[in-house]
A and B are shown apart, each in its own frame.
Chain A
Amino acid sequence: MFVWIPLFPLVGVVLNGLLGGRFFSRRLIHGTAVGAVALSFLASAAAFARLLGSTEPSQVKTLGVWIPATVVRLLSRNATSFSVDLAFRYDSLAAVMTLVVTGVALLIHIYSIGYMAHEKSYARFFAYMNLFTFAMLILVLGANLAVAFIGWEGVGLCSYLLIGFWFSKDAAANAGKKAFITNRVGDFGFLLGTGLLLATLGTIDTAQVNALAAGGGLTKGTATAAALLLFLGAVGKSAQIPLYTWLPDAMEGPTPVSALIHAATMVTAGVYMVARLNALFSFSGTALTVVAVVGALTAVYAATMALVQHDIKRVLAYSTISQIGYMFLGLGVGAFSAGIFHLMTHAFFKSLLFLAAGSVIHALAGEQDLRKMGGLRSRLPWTYRVFLVGALAIAGVPGLAGFFSKDEILAAAFGAGNYAVWVLGLAGAGLTAFYMFRLIFLAFYGPQRSGPEAKHHLHESPPVMMRPLQVLAGLSVVGGYIGLPHILGGGNWFARFLEPSTGLHELHLAAPTELLLMVLSAGIAAAGIAAAYIIYIRKDGAPARRLAERFSTLYRVISRKYYVDEVYNGVLVNGTLQAGRVAAAFDARIIDGLVDGAAALARGVSSLAILFDGRAIDGAVNGLGSVHRVLSGALRRVQTGYVYNYALAVIFGILVLISLVVTIF
């Protein structure tokens, strides 16, 4: 039963989150976390096997009503019979995603045992990682946009928690906030898009939305608006132009986090969502074009920034942005399965690259600056080997996973007649090959530039870290063959498997053209690698320095990341702060003025009341008192206390009485 898949990590979160920190040994903590993900992976594999054996293209499991129609009617005032079910759908797309998510998460969890071995908050780390896996699976399996949104927000939360894992460091805490707030912008679009679909279609079930969009249940304009709003969510989550600035900063988190969340899974959620709603995007051609253009621009734009970064993880971060751009490019030209194919291969080789970079950083005791590395090939032979595999895969060297997926996307772009997008993609491919090998040559070749202490500390990572890397390296090599195109003798099994979910993308290209495109993309990858070799090995970086001097302005602009962060800070952040200040001033002057005025008025009135109270009321009360005092002061004289006085009075009284009696009677 596929609903078991997300359940295991949830159990892991509960165990490690509630008990782990206090009662569990480190062994038990990572045993629980890894075991949970491993069970989840097994469940995914079992569900996948069942799907292969079944004729049903998708299974839906409804656990119950989440928001009953009565509640919706109460909230929306108009009579609607709409309700939201807590429903999950498992189809070929979800199968691919669950396998990738749980598989990569499992390897990264195992790797983390070694990488986080010296960490104090061990249980917290693994609880967050499990929580992330759980949320990601909910996002993938959610049958409607509302359930998917739980996962969508959950992964955002985990991203925030894990970027800021070392929250005592200012940079990490700020990066976490930046990621969360930037994602808010996108999530707002996601919510609006969901609302628009709900208002026009009356359903947010993804399959029904697709069916209704394909069946003409929507106007073109509405479909475009809804698709673009949802794409805004994807842009935020997947770090595309213009909401990409949070991802490089997110590298403040621990490296396994960067590999799992910010390379393999969460940032591809946007790609998944667009592929999930492919009929909606296809129906609105405009939205699809926007997706393609944004993806292509991001692919090149982020690649240029990766060229000049000195931080090993930031190079990979920009590379991730660029590669996700490729995925969107693929989706945008209608090749949904190609986009998902690249998502999968990218998950393999990018998490491999991140984890290998983590191994380098681990070996160098936290050093991330490429300028302080160099010559690590002989000292870290295994790390070097797996890193090289990852770099070859991402560069698109024929035979490795990245080649097939990237080539399929580029061929689809060319086949769709979208030549501008294709040229951008091709240029990005060359840049990708170049910056990856720049990284390799700087880190692993040449003289050792690290300090003596780091040199002394230098060691290859333990097996618990190396084994997952080797598995990922294997996947980076063979992962592409499940999508081997017809032209190379394969049947593109992957695309056919995804057909029930994403539809089949027919490539109308002549065989020679397709082969030529392949040769071209392989050639441009080779050119990029060769250029990096000449510049960084032969000439020891001299041409790079010369170029940087010659075009110093351009170099500065790129290395400062096109000043986008500065612009965002200046315009958006400061704008918000300014607006806040204006509001504060309004608050202080007008609102507080009103409140203070009312208070002053009340004070004036009450001082009058005090005056009245003091003079009139107290005067009356005190006057009564003093009248009594004066009268009683006269009377008290009589009360002498001497018995004989009283006796005298008695006698006089009797005499008076007697005389009265005598005179009257």
Chain B
Amino acid sequence: MIPINAVLGLGLLLFCLGLFGVLFRKNLVIMLMSLELLLNGVNVILAGLGRQRGTARGSIFALFVIVMAVSEAAVGFALVLAYFRQNKTYDIDRLNKLRG
């Protein structure tokens, strides 16, 4: 039996890594990948807490999150691809056309 704190620690680690990637990386693809990481950190925490309570609710919710993440990734990558076709770059610093 894995202790619950280890599970929560892993989830938190993954979440923080994802957050770091989203905030500080400059490549769009890596940012999306970080977003997956961020979501999966949450999934780990959900699944872990569900198992500790002895129910399947946490896992089921995690499954929902995965499905949502897939959809998000599909849409996100499509947008990224469209952006790349136009600008031949993934650099997030160049993506500031909405600047006021």
Contacts and interface: CB of A to CB of B under 8 A. Distances in A.
A284 to B, nearest CB: 105
A647 to B, nearest CB: 6
B70 interface: no
A651 interface: yes
Given A642-B92, A643-B92, A644-B24, A651 B99 contact: no
A25 B30 CA distance: 103
A637 B99 CA distance: 8
Interface in A636-653: 636-644, 647-648, 651
Contacts of A644: 22-24, 92
Secondary structure dominating the interface of A: helix
B85 interface: no
B53 interface: no
A637 B100 CA distance: 7
A117 interface: no
B86 interface: no
A641 B19 contact: no
Interface string B19-63: 100111000000100000000000000000000000000000000
A639 B19 CA distance: 21
B97 A641 contact: yes
Nearest to B25: A644
Interface in A610-665: 632, 635-644, 647-648, 651
Contacts of A635: 100
Contacts of A647: 22-23
Nearest to B93: A642
Contacts of A638: 100
Contacts of B22: 644, 647
Nearest to A636: B100
Interface in B62-100: 92-93, 95-100
Contacts of A651: 19, 23
B20 to A, nearest CB: 11
Interface residues of B, number: 13
Nearest to B24: A644
- How many chain A residues sit at the interface, stated as a range, is 10 to 19
A210 B24 CA distance: 125
Contacts of B24: 644
B23 A641 contact: no
A641 B100 CA distance: 7
Interface in A577-630: none
B100 A639 contact: yes
Contacts of B93: 642
Interface string A2-29: 0000000000000000000000000000
A639 B92 contact: no
A644 B21 CA distance: 10
Contacts of A636: 100
Nearest to B28: A643
Given A647-B22, A647-B23, A641 B92 contact: no
Contacts of B95: 641-643
Contacts of B99: 639-642
Contacts of B97: 641
A644 to B, nearest CB: 5
Most buried by A among B23, B31, B95: B23
Nearest to A632: B100
A307 B8 CA distance: 147
Contacts of B92: 642-644
Contacts of A639: 98-100
A638 B98 CA distance: 11
A643 B96 CA distance: 8
Interface string A386-427: 000000000000000000000000000000000000000000
Interface of B: 19, 22-24, 31, 92-93, 95-100
Pick the 5 closest A-B CB pairs, nearest first: A639-B100, A641-B96, A641-B99, A636-B100, A641-B98
Interface of A: 632, 635-644, 647-648, 651
Given A638-B100, A642-B92, 14 more contacts: A635-B100, A636-B100, A639-B98, A639-B99, A641-B95, A641-B97, A641-B100, A642-B95, A642-B96, A643-B92, A643-B95, A644-B22, A648-B23, A651-B19
21 contacts: A632-B100, A636-B100, A637-B100, A638-B100, A639-B99, A640-B96, A640-B99, A640-B100, A641-B100, A642-B96, A642-B99, A643-B31, A643-B92, A643-B95, A644-B22, A644-B92, A647-B22, A647-B23, A648-B23, A651-B19, A651-B23
